Amino acid sequence: MIGVRHLRTGGSGNEVAALDVAGVSHSYGPKRALNNVSFSIAPATFTVLLGLNGAGKTTLFSLISRLYDTRHGSIRIFGHDIRRASGEALRCVGIVFQARTLDLDLSVHQNLSYHASLHGIGGREARQRIATLLETVDMQGRDHDKARSLSGGQMRRIEIARALLHRPALLLLDEATVGLDIQSRAGILATIRRLVDTEGIGVLWATHLIDEVDDGDHAVVLRQGNLVASGTVSDLIHASGADSIRDAFSKLNRAETAGIAGISP
């Protein structure tokens, strides 16, 4: 893992944010997908990026991963500007996209070893990392299974292992539990929580499912491309005058309550 000091938001020291998004906007032709979005997340924390479908979550992930260029605003990963030092920035990141991306005709081990080779990892080191990561995601003993034989939840676990092969310090997951049953969702969330707590990895978890916020340390809420709130779950509940995170999210998605006082927009 990459060793960085823990960020204390608003502090005056030299601590480095795992991810710093500053004034980012993005449009698809005349349609504005993100509008002046700014937030930062600390290393070794589980941050939930929450928003309804179409809120801008996937667009933001595409900018962080450089599938799209950031033309307005800046994105820094552990201090590395995603445009000026993209190699250094992206080496710090592992990404699990919403769409399934395993090669179904290859085995689990073949999928992982091919990806390891893209990072210059081969031979004994690759085999050791693959074995360790399969155990981490509770998929040990499945090395030789064809990817197409796996359930949706099992495929997602392999994709998480793949994203961790190069030992990133920040893991991004875009709607990682879409289409999964309740048990699979809970198992994947528990795995990610364990990675944060025991390995010190930072996580940005994008979802539209309100119950997944409970597993996070912090939440960032997007509505129609605008950042409407960021803070701890208790911050969001208290400042919005709600009784639960579900009620707080409902309030934050009403135009008249966006940017509630007491919650950092």
Q: What is the residue-level pLDDT of the chain in tens, covering all 265 positions?
A: 322 233 333 344 567 999 999 999 999 999 999 999 999 999 999 999 999 989 999 999 999 999 999 999 999 999 999 999 989 999 999 999 988 899 999 999 999 999 999 999 999 999 999 999 999 999 999 999 999 999 999 999 999 999 999 999 999 999 999 889 999 999 999 999 999 999 999 999 999 998 888 888 999 999 999 999 898 888 888 877 888 888 888 888 774 444 443 344 4
Cβ distance 49 to 60 under 8 Å?
yes
Q: Is 0.75 topped by the overall pTM?
A: yes
Judge if 107 and 217 occupy the same domain: no
Judge if 131 and 212 occupy the same domain: no
Question: What is the Cα–Cα distance from 216 to 243, expressed in whole angstroms?
Answer: 18
Give how many domains the chain has, as a whole number.
2
Residue 18 sits at φ, ψ, to 5 deg, of -65, -40
Question: What is the Cα–Cα distance from 200 to 43, expressed in whole angstroms?
Answer: 7
Judge if 177 and 52 occupy the same domain: yes
- Which residues constitute the domain of residue 137? 103-166
Residue 67 lies in a domain: yes
Judge if 77 and 174 occupy the same domain: yes
Residue 2 lies in a domain: no
Residue 97 lies in a domain: no
Last residue of a domain, one of 148, 166, 184: 166
Judge if 154 and 178 occupy the same domain: no
